[in-house]
Amino acid sequence: ASSASRKELKLNPLTLGDLYKRKFPPARWLVKDLIPLGGLTAITGEPASFKSFLTQALAVSVATGTPFLGHFETIKGKVLIIDQENQLRLVKERFELLNAKANENVFFLSQEGVKIDNKLHIDRLIEVVQKINPVLVVMDSLVRFHSGDENTAKDMSLFFEEASRLSSDERSVVFIHHHRKQF
């Protein structure tokens, strides 16, 4: 780091007493006790373990303002599903299995080849998000949204930095991540 940047960095440690004096607003939930409003949330698991199906059920609950899984309160709003994994035919079949009614609050981008680590792509995606203004963005799945190596901290740091630009205090981003098969 240059001497100029060292001079600009001011570090002021807090004591535990200082921390206890701070007042924080209560946590806000997109899905009560499961998905905080704002920021990134991962849904992870083995391939073919119903993660995409679960996020579609989540989309229906948020779009209609009904409890997720019949239990967890949701904030009602628009949802953008960016699905780079599944063909629209399968997405439609899953919504039909969920008995989801046609809903103007659910939007799709399907197999567009969006790469979050590509400046043009993220800028275009941010434009779409700003236009729709969803409370939830679903990204299916992590591996399809970047050109980097998931085992490299630098590559994943770039992904999370860019993906966090899609969230806001009033919007959550949920992404699916597949566990790698162990042999």
**What would the pLDDT profile of 87-126 be if each residue is shown by its tens digit?**
889 999 999 999 999 989 999 998 788 887 788 888 999 9
Please give the Cα distance from 109 to 129 (Å, whole number): 11
More confident site: 3 or 79 = 79
Give residue-wise pLDDT tens across range 120-145: 888 999 999 999 999 999 998 777 77
Going by pLDDT thresholds of 50, 70 and 90, the confidence category of residue 1 is: very low
* Higher-scoring residue by pLDDT: 181, 170: 170
Quick: pLDDT tens for 11-45.
999 999 999 999 988 889 999 999 999 889 988 88
Q: Position of tokens 């989540």?
A: 58
List pLDDT tens digits, range 46-64: 888 898 899 999 999 999 9
